[in-house]
Structure 1
Amino acid sequence: MVKKEAQKDWDEFTSSRVVEKSNIDNAKLVVRLQKPKGKVDVVIDTDTYNEIDDQFAVAYLVKSDEKLNLKAIYAAPFHNEKSTGPADGMEKSYQEIMNILALLEREDLKPYVYRGSTAYMPSETEPVISDAAKDLAERAMDYSEENPLYVIAIGAITNVSSALLMNPEIKNRIVLIWLGGNALHWPHNREFNLFQDVAGARIVFGCGVPLVQLPCMGVVSAFTTSGPELEYHLRGKNKLCDYLVDVTTKEALECYGGSTWTRPIWDVTAVAWLLDGDFEEDCLMHSPIPEYDDRYAFDNNRHFIKYVYHIKRDNLFADLFAKLAK
């Protein structure tokens, strides 16, 4: 019933709209892919229950309010051993977002949390209607090329790609920062956020939306922490920090094992790209093409994206720990 009502509401919103596709302008993309100066509005799309790094990222964003003005949080779908399917993963993520906001004592943000897709995109032309996709498709219209809405995505890209299909005009009003795919030099591109919805990934890499890619294996995989480091910097600082240390340690022992484990806190890096610190190195490159067989294809006639190729691990963890413990 909720899905049908969302579809009806969206049909009413779009019934009188005519959105024309425009050619991709590389000169404009280069300008729009520059890091913003001053405070900016952001939304975050997150599969928060999937891994502990999402909780770190959401908390880091909320505590970076000197730079980032959080407008909405979207629950993204995921399917692995922690969920029975993408719908269950999305709902568990929605509930975990609420848990993190409670630990942050930010009850004021809870009305701006939206449930996302309950399935992945069936094709590259069919959006999955959800409250999250509908909100992004509407919210972004309040922005412009000169003053965009920044979209941080740290899960399967279904909500964002659906919004782009529902209202293609928003690609001229947003900048997308997505942690997805592996490094171009990695031997394969079977990365969790990407392979769940390859159709959605092909949309965001191909439609001309300003895109900042943070590849996982080969780049962000270097952003690791350990149990002793978390205990030293976060234990006893506040309820949130204790929760993050406990859950990270539990997950690490289950997934990695051993007494000397380290674990990537991947998703923090997507938030950090928007901050003013010296945290990452990036470059312009032609947008690669995610294929359905776990590889990239390349075409130097395609438009530019911004590609992050190095994480300054120590600088970023210093800022993260200081803000979380604050």
Structure 2
Amino acid sequence: MKQEEDKIPVIFDTDANNELDDQHALAYLLFSGDSFRVEGITVNATYNGGDIEEQYAEAQRVLQLAGLEGTVPLLKGANADFAEIKEQIGLDSFDGAEAVDFIIQTAKQTTPEKLVLLAVGKLTNVALALEKDSTIAPHVRVVWLGSNYPEPGEYNQDNDTLAMNYILNSGVAFEMVTVRYGKPSGTDAVRVTQEEVNQHMPGKGPKVATPVTGRHGVAFDNFGDYSVNLFEHIQYHGNPPARALFDMAAVAIVKDPSWAQSKRIPAPILRDNKWVERPENKRTITIWENFDKEKIMDDFYQTMEHYQLAGNQSPL
């Protein structure tokens, strides 16, 4: 078992109520206490899933189902986007201040390893933290689930393109975990069917004393049963009909980088919704692609079965 100081320190930044991959990514992270030290969870609001209160409520449900509410900090971030908020960050209070200040404070804590800012929604909270205090840049590693690079479009990217471009032009370590809708090279390929979920997930995770009412109005005492419920209320795509667990794959490659391929490239920029290459740019970023679905899903299910909670380091 890893010592606490050897575990990967993470802040998970999420639009938790958007669809269902955020919840599974968060549970996977919280159940991987043998690998991760979860410093906190920050939420943001994207086009779907309601405002910051609803995003917060869904993240809170997953924390409660893990039995970790009050152990792992949960903080509200930005409703609006980077351009709307950045001029206000000198004020005592601004949209997203709670999450932004938490990111800065945590990044400044002495640690031998960089703090991973694992962002699986828009990049607003992360960009605001870097804008408010650029001295945190050497102390953090931003791993973002987003973009169809080198093609345009993608939900997280489109929710705050300026935040992404800001980070691309900054000096912070930045890794893009590609989505690539409909292509085998992105996290869109890490798909599961409803049948697979019904086979693997019922009853998984710790059983909590007080049932938690999910977003569809049914109460659960474990995350696995809530997972089944989430998959009962979602649209499926493809043949066979399946759903991608994009965000969960981003957690997986931080846990084990061998489960995908990475490459370094000069940082491009997005202009007029088109990627513009900058081959002379000395600033480089990492691109993640070609995810090993079988190994990722096998570890996810094994983690659900043999969980070790972040914040509770005793084997279960």
Q: TM-score category by the smaller chain?
A: 0.7 to 0.9
Whether 1:301 aligns to 2:280 is yes
Q: Does 1:224 align with 2:191?
A: yes
* Matched-pair contact (CA < 8 Å) for 1:124–1:202: no
- How far apart are the structure 1 equivalents of 2:154 and 2:104? 26
Match of 2:255, SS state, is: coil
Q: 1:282 aligns with which of 262, 277, 282?
A: 262
Aligned to 2:69: 107
Partner of 2:231: 248
For the 8 Å contact 2:46–2:79, the answer to whether it is kept is: no
Contact 1:213 1:307 in 2 (8 A): yes
Q: Which has the higher contact order (CA 8 A, sep 6+)?
A: 2
Is 2:121 the partner of 1:141? no
Partner of 2:217: none
Is the deviation greater in 272-281 or in 190-199? 272-281
| Residues 1:170 and 2:139 are matched in the alignment | no
Q: Deviations over 1:221-240 (max 9, x none)?
A: 11111011111111233521
CA distance in structure 2 between the partners assigned to 1:298 and 1:57 by the alignment: 31
Equivalent position of 1:118 in the other structure: 79
Tell me the residue number matched to 1:28. none
Contact (CA 8 Å) 2:107, 2:115: kept in 1 or not?
Answer: yes
Q: Could you report, residue by residue, the CA deviation over 1:137-174 in whole angstroms, capped at 9, with x for unpaired residues? A: 22211246x53111100001100000000001111110
Contact 1:124 1:200 in 2 (8 A): no
Q: 1:236 aligns with which of 198, 203, 206?
A: 203
Distance 1:103 1:226 in 2: 23
CA distance in 1, matches of 2:125, 2:86: 14
Question: How many Å separate the matches in 1 of 2:62 and 2:299?
Answer: 19
Task: Give the % identical residues.
Answer: 24
1:27 alignment partner in structure 2? none
- Per-residue CA deviations over 1:44-72 (Å, capped at 9, x if unaligned) read 10000001000000011111111110011
Map of 2:20 onto structure 1 = 52
Aligned-residue CA RMSD (Å): 2.1
Distance verdict in 2 for CA 1:124–1:98, change over 3 Å: closer
What residue is the counterpart of 2:160 in the other structure? 197
Q: Displacement of 1:130 after TM fit?
A: 1.6
The structure that is helix-richer by fraction is 1
SS in 2 for 1:51: coil
Residue in 1 aligned with 2:208?
Answer: none
Q: Distance in 1 between matches of 2:104 and 2:252?
A: 24
- Determine the C-alpha separation between the residues in 2 that align with 1:108 and 1:296: 42
- 1:225, 1:265 within 8 Å by CA — same for their partners in 2? yes
| 8 Å CA contact retained: 2:77, 2:97 | yes
In 2, Cα distance between equivalents of 1:149 and 1:235: 33
Partner Cα separation in structure 2 for residue 132 and residue 229 of structure 1 = 35
Q: Cα 1:96–1:123, aligned 2, differ >3 Å: closer, same or farther?
A: closer
Deviation at 1:277, TM superposition (A): 6.5
- Amino acid across the alignment from 1:100: V
| 1:295-324 CA distance string (max 9 Å, x none) | 211101221111102100000000001112
Where 2:126 maps in the other structure, the secondary structure is helix
SS of 1:229's equivalent in the other structure is helix
How many corresponding residue pairs?
Answer: 275
In structure 2, what is the Cα distance between the partners aligned to 1:276 and 1:151?
A: 16
Give the equivalent residue in structure 2 for 1:74. Answer: 42
Task: Evaluate the alpha carbon distance shift between residue 174 and residue 259 of structure 1 in structure 2; reply closer, same or farther with a 3 A threshold.
Answer: closer
Q: Is the 8 A contact 1:235 1:241 kept in 2?
A: yes
Per-residue displacement from partner, 1:256-282 (whole Å, max 9, x unpaired)? Answer: 4x9941110000121112213631111
Q: 84, 91, 103: which one pairs with 2:53?
A: 91
Deviation at 1:108?
3.5
CA distance in 2, matches of 1:278, 1:66: 18
